[in-house]
């Protein structure tokens, strides 16, 4: 009898350890968890209290292809890569560009969309072109969203002392409106949304930088990366991704 009780206790202890450690598996393998920053329209934003946008819809289609259910986690942009690296989130999607520093921590899928970094200024600004920012003797203060490519590019091109990072693009735009910075460098599509919503602002005609968006996946999760790339190709070939992008970014004409 004592021997039976001892075996039972051992089994209970093993079960408890597995619950705490996860036994190397997620609590629910049928859920695809997406780490994002839901403040980047039209790629991700809230509508009726629900995350929507290009990235969200593409992620939903990817989850369907993988036979999974999508769960969106709204976090700070600069926490996405670390969250994916640690396994807290399966994927990271937030209009993310493949950069060498990010590749040190995570892998990226094939490109699914293209972005353009632009400069927002006040309509009466002395800044009339991107070149003005790098002109000899220029001291213009630049607002960016922390940890974005706009942040990295601006610091590389103009020096960190001229760049101020904000948690969200909207915060950087508010700083521009109140005179704390002279311009904001951000992706073109969110820039258009911010300019529409804030009178007295405009986007400079010349683009600051071109970039490709991809999905972050943990380095050890090569199986998921392969499945995502396969699904992305299928969604690209059948026109699904183009339809989603066109829904949020109508062709200009």
The model's pLDDT over 76-109, given as tens digits with 9 standing for 90+, comes to: 999 999 999 999 999 999 999 999 999 999 999 9
Average pLDDT of the chain is 90
pLDDT (0 to 100) of residue 42: 92
Whose tokens are 């995570």? That residue is 106
Cis ω on the peptide bond leading into residue 251 (within 30° of 0)?
no
The answer to the question of residue 195 being in a domain is: yes
* C-alpha torsion 137→141→145→150, nearest 10: -20
For residues 153 and 76, membership in a common domain is answered with no
For residues 90 and 122, membership in a common domain is answered with no
Closest CA to 184 of 198, 170, 167, 196: 170
For residues 204 and 120, membership in a common domain is answered with yes
The answer to the question of residue 152 being in a domain is: yes
For residues 124 and 171, membership in a common domain is answered with yes
Whose tokens are 């921590």? That residue is 105
* Cα 183 from Cα 139, distance rounded (Å): 11
For residues 48 and 93, membership in a common domain is answered with yes
The answer to the question of residue 12 being in a domain is: no
More confident residue, 4 or 168: 168
Q: Which domain does 157 fall in, by range?
A: 115-211
Query: Which CATH number goes with the domain that contains 197?
Result: 3.40.190.10
Residue 57, number of CB atoms within 10 A of its CB: 20
For the stretch 203-222, pLDDT in tens is 999 999 999 999 999 999 99
pLDDT (0 to 100) of residue 252: 59
* Cα 152 from Cα 109, distance rounded (Å): 21
For residues 223 and 194, membership in a common domain is answered with no
Domain count, the chain: 2
For residues 98 and 121, membership in a common domain is answered with no
Q: 44: Cβ–Cβ under 8 A, 6 or more apart, which residues?
A: 36, 37, 38, 51, 52, 53, 54, 55, 56, 72, 93, 94, 95
The answer to the question of residue 15 being in a domain is: no
Q: Is the pLDDT of residue 25 over 80?
A: no
What's the whole-number mean pLDDT along residues 169-198? Answer: 96
For residues 103 and 227, membership in a common domain is answered with yes
For residues 99 and 147, membership in a common domain is answered with no
pLDDT (0 to 100) of residue 52: 98
The answer to the question of residue 188 being in a domain is: yes
For residues 154 and 197, membership in a common domain is answered with yes
* Cα 100 from Cα 158, distance rounded (Å): 20
- Which pTM does this prediction carry? 0.79
The answer to the question of residue 85 being in a domain is: yes
* Cα 79 from Cα 84, distance rounded (Å): 9
pLDDT (0 to 100) of residue 18: 43
Q: Is the pLDDT of residue 2 over 50?
A: no
For residues 200 and 218, membership in a common domain is answered with no
The answer to the question of residue 21 being in a domain is: no
For residues 36 and 102, membership in a common domain is answered with yes
């Amino acid at each position: 009898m004592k021997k039976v009780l001892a075996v039972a206790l051992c089994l209970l202890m093993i079960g408890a350890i597995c619950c705490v450690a996860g036994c190397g598996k997620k609590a629910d393998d049928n859920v695809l968890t997406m780490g994002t920053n839901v403040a980047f329209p039209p790629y991700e934003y809230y509508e009726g209290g629900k995350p929507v946008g290009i990235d969200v819809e593409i992620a939903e289609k990817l989850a369907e292809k993988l036979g999974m259910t999508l769960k969106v986690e709204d976090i700070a942009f600069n926490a996405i890569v670390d969250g994916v690296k640690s396994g807290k989130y399966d994927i990271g999607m937030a209009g993310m560009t493949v950069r060498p520093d990010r590749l040190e921590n995570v892998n990226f899928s094939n490109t699914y969309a293209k972005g353009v970094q632009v400069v927002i200024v006040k309509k009466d600004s002395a800044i009339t072109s991107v070149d003005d920012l790098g002109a000899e003797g220029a001291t213009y203060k630049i607002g960016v969203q922390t940890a974005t490519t706009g942040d990295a590019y601006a610091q590389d091109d103009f020096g960190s002392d001229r760049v101020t990072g904000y948690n969200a693009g909207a915060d950087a735009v508010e700083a521009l409106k109140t005179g704390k910075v002279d311009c904001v460098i951000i992706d073109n599509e969110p820039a258009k949304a911010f300019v529409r919503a804030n009178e007295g602002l405009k986007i400079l005609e010349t683009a600051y930088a071109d970039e490709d968006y991809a999905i972050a996946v943990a380095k050890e999760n090569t199986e998921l990366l392969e499945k995502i790339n396969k699904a992305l190709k299928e969604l690209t070939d059948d026109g699904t991704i183009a339809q989603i992008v066109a829904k949020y970014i109508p062709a200009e004409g």
